[in-house]
Each structure stands twice: as C-alpha cells, then as structure tokens.
Structure 1
Amino acid sequence: MPSFKQLTLKASLAALLIAPTALVQAAATDADVEQCVIEKLKEVNANTLVSQIRAECKIEVKQPQNDPTQGAFSQRIISENASKYNSHVITPHRMNYILPVSITDNRNTEVYRDAAPQWSDNIEDHESKYQLSLKVPLNGGDLFTEGDGLYFGMTLNSWWQVYSENISKPFRETNYLPEVFYITGLDWHPMGGNTGLIMGVEHQSNGRSNAFSRSWNRVYLNLLWEKENLLLSLKPWYRLSEDEKEVLEDGTLDPDGDDNPDIMDYMGYFQFGAAYQYENLEFSMGIRQNFATHKGALELGMTFPLWGRLRGYAQYFTGYGESLIDYNHNQQTFGIGIAITDIL
C-alpha cells in the first residue's frame, strides 16, 4: 500500500520475499561458484568486493530459476539477488509508476483555506501522480540465514497539479518514505506455499513546515505467503511516539513535536495486501483499517502489457490517507498510466 500504496500493497503492497532455504537446492559445486567469480572479476571495476561477487555467483549457479515450487514473487527476488551487487543496476523496491491523469471526487481544499487560500480556490480535481521506489543492500553476504539481507529503501510519491493554470502547476504534495529493513525466508510452508518475514523501521513525511507538516515513524513486521502466482501480505505496525507540539511566544507552533497525533485513527494499525498474476495481467489489492474508528482505505490496481518492459497501470483508491496531507480526508481517486515495475 506502499505506505499501503506501496504494498501498492501504495504495499505497498511494498513487500519482499526471499525463497525459503529449503527450496534452494545446490545445483552446482563450489568449483562452479569459483569459476563464476573468476569470470566476473574480468568485468567489474577494482572497487567491487570479492565477497559481493561470490554472493552473486552463489545465487546464479545454485538457485534454479524455474523451480516449480517457487512462487512468482520468489522468482522475482531470486532474479533481483542475482544482480543486486552490480553497481550499474538499480533494484526496484515497491512499484514504480506514473499516472498522467488521476481524478478525485472530493479534493481536500480545506487544508489550504487559511495558509494558502489561492491554492484552495484553484486546485483542480484532476492531476498527475507518480511513485519512484528503490532499494540497496547493506550487507555483502548472508547474515543469519541463507539468502537473507539488510536493505535501505526509499520510496517517493508526488501529486502534481499539472492541469492548474492559475497557480503555476505546483506539486501539491510529495511524500518521502526512507526505511531500513531485514528480510528472510522461513522454513514454514502452510497449504504448500512459501513464507517470508520482513522487519523494518520507516519514516514518512511530506518535508513541509508549519500548518502543512505531516510525518510519523513506525516499526513493522510483514509476514508474506505465496503460492504459484498468488502473494498475500499482512503488515502490522507500531507508531513511535513523539512529543506534543507547543505554542511559541509568537503564537506559532513549535516545529518540533507531533504534527499529526491522530494519524492512527485514519491510517490504521495494519495493512493487508494481495497480488495475483493471471497470464499477462497482474491484480493487486491493499487494505488498511482501524477497527476502533472504522476508518481506513482500500486500493486496487491492475497492470497490463503495452510494449517492451512498459505496462499499463490502472489504480483505484477509496478512504483516508491517499497522501499525508490528506491523512484525515476521505475521497475516491482513479488514475491510469504506465508501470515500469510490477509487484510480482
């Protein structure tokens, strides 16, 4: 969603899975790995660590890419692991997409009424939206289990009022989501599927000040289950507390302190995500919920082939928190555009 947009799963759907150790069969000898290392040393620069090359070779020669017991998401992660130490490769984290047109049925103008009345009067109901998301490994080999890893991830979402003629087409909102997370496979196979676990800490903010400032920090667990072309994700989180904001002598709010103390009432305590691949289509769903307030959100997505590696992407959202500035605002949005990377 990731953010449950970014489950998209926006999420995420974000979510990552390492194929369980029990499924990783040794298909080559140590000599094959060393031969792979020798070949790669001829191609890389002098700053590349041999340990990184060896870890990459272990993945390439030991993990069968077409193992029928591996789900679609495991195969994606195995493919990413084979190139994650290549300095010329940028590894995606959550989905990467651009929606040239995203339409809402209830634009949040009230938030700008006092501090930016020109925006409030001229913001359009249709705009552009995009998401960029990548990750980089922080370890050079296995940490605790085979194939596990520690990563830094960064996801950026922007909402661009490109169709607003009277306010110079500004970026209405940009959300930044840096995170550090650990991922590992689990030797647990309920209903014949594979499972994985992610543990992480993330900070999300819109990088703004005063009345427009929104941010929060949380730690989370993400349990993943996959079978064939189906991926399910359950991600509960705990918000890290912040001090209450104080009013300064000039009447303004202290920049330090909690910008949005009631955010959990609207963003909920967990997100549930799903992704399913059917032939050349991919469907995704993300749900957030707070059972006490009965507030949350639903996001649905579908990608379909266009040309080359580009895919069409349609996204529907309903509920609270489509962006941080709208965390307590209820709306429906629909957008259509291009996805550069999928979930599966």
Structure 2
Amino acid sequence: MRTLLFIISAYLCLYSTTAIATDETPNAKEEQPEEAQPESRYDTRYFILKPHKRNYVLPITATDDFHHEAYDNVPTFADNFEDIEAKYQISLMFPLLNEGFIFEQDSLHFGITLQSWWQIYADNISKPFRETNYQPEVFYRVKTPWKVLDGNITLGVGLEHQSNGRSQLLSRSWNRMYGEVIFQKTDFKATFKPWYRLPENEKTSPDDPEGDDNPDIRDYMGNYQLEFEYLWGDVGMDIMLRENFSTHKGAFELGLTFPIWSGLRGYLQYFNGYGESLIDYNHNQQKIGLGIMLDTYFD
C-alpha cells in the first residue's frame, strides 16, 4: 500500500508542477504578461520531476519458468507463488544543476527507478509483493555539437546503486559506474551504456549482513546495455540488449506500445534471459506482460 501511495503522490507532483511551470492556467498568464517575464537559464521549469526511464503498469505478466529456488528458505511462500503476477515500473528524475554549469548544454541529474513484482493472484499467501528493486542514480549529460547521420550525440557518465532492499539470504545488490553514448534523430533513439561494477568485500558466511550478496552478478547481467527506441505513427517499439563478454549470458527485452483510447497507450512487454529482477539475476526465463504505458517515447 505504501508503494502504491508513492506512485500516486509522485505522479500528482509530476503533472501538477508541469502545469504550473508551463503556465497552462489562465491565472498564470494574467499575472505574468509575456513582456514582463525575463529570460533566465534558471527558469522554474527546470526544477520539476520528469519521467526518466519507462513508466508502466502491467496487471498481467506470465513466466515459463518461475524461480522457486530463490525462495527455498521461505517454503511457505515458495510453494504458493503463482506464475502469473503484476508488474510496474515508476522512474522519475530531477536536475541537481541547470544546463550550462560547465558546458553550454550540460546537466546533472538525480534519478530514481522503482520496479515491483506483485503476486496479486496468489490468494493463499495474501497477495504479497514478491520483489521490489530500487535504483537511485546520479548522472551527468552533455549535448555535443557533433552530428552523425543528421542525428544528435549526447554523452554521459553516472553512478548508480541497485538493491532489492531485502536482508541476508534474499538480499541482492550492486553498485556501478557507467558511461553513455546517446544518438537521437527525430523518432529514433539509440543508447550504448557500458559499466564497471564497484567491488565489494566477500562475505564471511551466507548469513553475514555485510559483504557481497551476489559476487557473480556481472556474469549474468553483463558488461553493457544497448537500447533502441523507435516511433512510427501511433506505434512505438523499444529494444534492450545486455551481454557479458566472457560468459555470453545476458537478456533481451522487447516492448511495443499502441493507442487504446483517449490518449491511453497499451504496452506489450517480452523478456528473455537473465536478470528480469534482482532476485532472478542468475535465472534464465521468458516473460510476457500486458498493460498500459504511462508516458511517451520522446521528450
């Protein structure tokens, strides 16, 4: 329930501040005539929450191979989990420093992404949230003057933490430094994101609350991520690829969006590989989900 309240409050904040910042209300226009508004790079429009990664709700997702082994230490739950569950992702960001603090078109942001897998159809265990992943990050981006195939190039670096907020035997987490190369042209966007995992100390025992919960996570989650986004007409597509150079393990994800009614967009998501969630980082499966997209493809 607290997670759902977070979602509702975050989006109310997002849309209310956007409306205020863009002067969409008649009162705002009356009180601030256009000729009286000074130009400033510190405009209040920069200080609002904005979508970061995908925002969606999938009331139905199904897997071909549920990862029961991860929950062997809680057999009451493991024996009653359902292969069908709900999933949602909420991802927001806001600027820490405005554009132009080092270069003309650069910015420093804080972002937070929350993913939850909800066993809403598991009546025998009171419909718990099976897994929730938290991913805060700080990242810097700069728009370059370079043109490739008439597209724009943006470079970035960042530091992120990802954790499922669990303790001891169910705990999964890691920290990464990453770089980004982003190419965007009209309705196409491609992102190359290599990373380096920050090392952690080894555990002295499986029950040790300190130390590395998952020392082999990079073998399955990979060394880099490629993302492609394309919008043609009313239909959008996004593709995600991850791979480890040595083990050749990774993941593939395909998303399709399509109009439903009154601006609402449907979202179909297919996943194949490792790491659909942190608790499943070393588990290979296929998943498919259907729901709604909460934002658009391009700013």
TM over 0.5: yes
Structure 1 unmatched runs, 5+: 1-34, 41-52, 58-81
Question: Structure 1 runs of 4+ off > 3 angstroms?
Answer: 35-40
Where 2:146 maps in the other structure, the secondary structure is: coil
1:161, 1:172 within 8 Å by CA — same for their partners in 2? yes
State the shift of 1:83 in Å: 2.9
| Aligned with residue 293 of structure 1, among 225, 247, 269 | 247
Residue 242 (structure 1) aligns with: 200
Distance in 2 between residues matched to 1:168 and 1:37, nearest whole Å: 59
Correspondence list, 1:171-250, <5 A: 171-247=129-205
**Matched-pair identity in %:** 51
Residue 218 (structure 2) aligns with: 264
1:309, 1:340 within 8 Å by CA — same for their partners in 2? no
Residue 79 (structure 1) aligns with: none
Residue 288 (structure 2) aligns with: 334
Matched, 1:83 2:37: no
Distance in 2 between residues matched to 1:108 and 1:201, nearest whole Å: 29
Matching residue's letter, 2:233: E
Matching residue's letter, 1:92: P
Residue 128 (structure 2) aligns with: 170
Q: CA-atom RMSD, angstroms?
A: 1.8
Higher strand share: 2
Q: How does the TM-score come out when normalised to structure 2?
A: 0.85
Aligned length: 267
2:267, 2:293 within 8 Å by CA — same for their partners in 1? yes
Matched, 1:147 2:92: no
1:174, 1:206 within 8 Å by CA — same for their partners in 2? yes
Correspondence list, 1:52-131, <5 A: 54-55=40-41, 83-85=45-47, 89-113=48-72, 115-131=73-89
State the shift of 1:36 in Å: 5.4
Where 1:154 maps in the other structure, the secondary structure is: strand
1:214, 1:325 within 8 Å by CA — same for their partners in 2? yes
Residue 297 (structure 2) aligns with: 343
Matching residue's letter, 1:275: E
Matching residue's letter, 2:241: I
Where 1:199 maps in the other structure, the secondary structure is: strand
1:106, 1:332 within 8 Å by CA — same for their partners in 2? yes
Distance in 1 between residues matched to 2:70 and 2:54, nearest whole Å: 29
CA 264–145 in structure 1, closer or farther in 2 if over 3 Å, else same = same
Taking CA–CA contacts closer than 8 Å with sequence separation of 6 or more, which of the two structures ends up with the larger relative contact order?
1
Distance in 2 between residues matched to 1:38 and 1:126, nearest whole Å: 57
Residue 261 (structure 2) aligns with: 307
Out of 264-273 and 302-311, give the one that drifted further: 302-311
